Amino acid sequence: MSKSRIHRKVLPAIFIMVILAAFPIRVAWAQYKGDVFSGKYIKVGLNDYGVLGVNDEVEGDVGFQYPIGEEFESLAAGWWVDGWSIFYGENGAGFSPFDGPWGTIEGISPTVKVDALRDGYIKTCILTTSDEQLQLTFKFRFINNKKYLILVMFIKNIGSTTIQDLEVKKIVDWDVWQPYLGNYRNFWGMDNIRRPNMNLAVAFLNSSASTYILKPVYMGFASREKPTDYDLNWDRYKSRGIYGPYKVSISYKGTTSAYKDYCLVYQWLLGTLKPGETKVLHFVYAAGDSLDELEKNVAQAFKMAVTIR
């Protein structure tokens, strides 16, 4: 596979027992399998439930690495929080590697397929809720020579009645280069002044954060669909609504006053979903050596994201 490698994680029982004994706080995600994709610039671990975060017996902990290397692990290095939740009527469901599957996908096994392409991979994860109301499909697009990863989420009503009050949340906890720095603090901000239509939240490091940073690095999560609301501090993604959110913008110069261990939550209020209807959300995880490069990478990824069906 030349420069790109893919690893499948299946933990033997004895290894799981060792992990349970040594690291009890991290048990929840250790039992979940996934795939690790490594390209020219980034390495990502894609869980089978539609999020990032895999523990591979060869590669170790992998969420989103740029540049490639365990010391540059940047996604939820503290406790593996990349996740999603969905609420419909009185029901709800969701997943993060830390919490595992809950609600109407608890005990449900995903259907997973990985397709090798000329320039990378498409990984598809499909979940059907236990009440047979929703089919959730997550399609990841990994490209060998790009600094971004695309995720498209398809929400289909497979029941016979209209779903009311559909709400989706996405949680992304960047901990940029935490193994390298030894702490979880990053500069944070919404890129809604420079690029107001990009819906891009940024976590970054530069020499202001540490004398060890020789060059800046920027990580971002973006949605093509504008969220109804967002929070850069913290939010219970297992419950509806966002209350008292913390918000801060990145200036035209690319600076921000927020330097702390923050966590991104986006919320979409999607209304009703008729039988047979599908609603789609397009997401991008990206890296860059400058804010300008990050913005360009996200814009390029958006163009490709809409072609994924």
pLDDT tens string 164-199: 999 999 999 999 999 998 999 999 999 999 999 999
3-class DSSP state of 228: coil
Task: Find, among 171, 166, 167, the residue nearest to 63 by Cα.
Answer: 171
Note down pLDDT in tens along the chain; length 309 residues. Answer: 333 445 544 333 333 333 333 333 333 444 468 999 999 999 999 999 999 999 888 888 899 999 999 999 999 787 778 999 999 999 999 999 888 999 999 999 999 999 999 999 999 999 999 999 999 999 999 999 999 999 999 999 999 999 999 999 999 999 999 999 899 999 999 999 999 999 999 999 998 877 777 789 999 999 999 999 999 998 889 999 999 999 999 999 999 999 999 999 999 999 999 999 999 999 999 999 999 999 999 999 999 999 999
β-partners of residue 38 are 5, 43
Instruction: Report whether 96 contacts 173 (CB < 8 A).
Output: no
Residue 309: half-sphere exposure toward Cβ, Cα within 13 Å: 1
Q: What is the pLDDT of residue 6?
A: 54
**Full strand arrangement of the beta sheet holding 278-288:** 111-117, 120-128, 134-143, 148-157, 278-288, 217-223, 200-205, 186-190, 258-260
Cα–Cα distance between 271 and 269 in angstroms, integer?
A: 6
Query: What pTM was computed for the model?
Result: 0.90
Residues 6+ apart with CB under 8 A from 299: 198
Query: Domains of the chain, with CATH numbers?
Result: 80-305 (2.70.98)
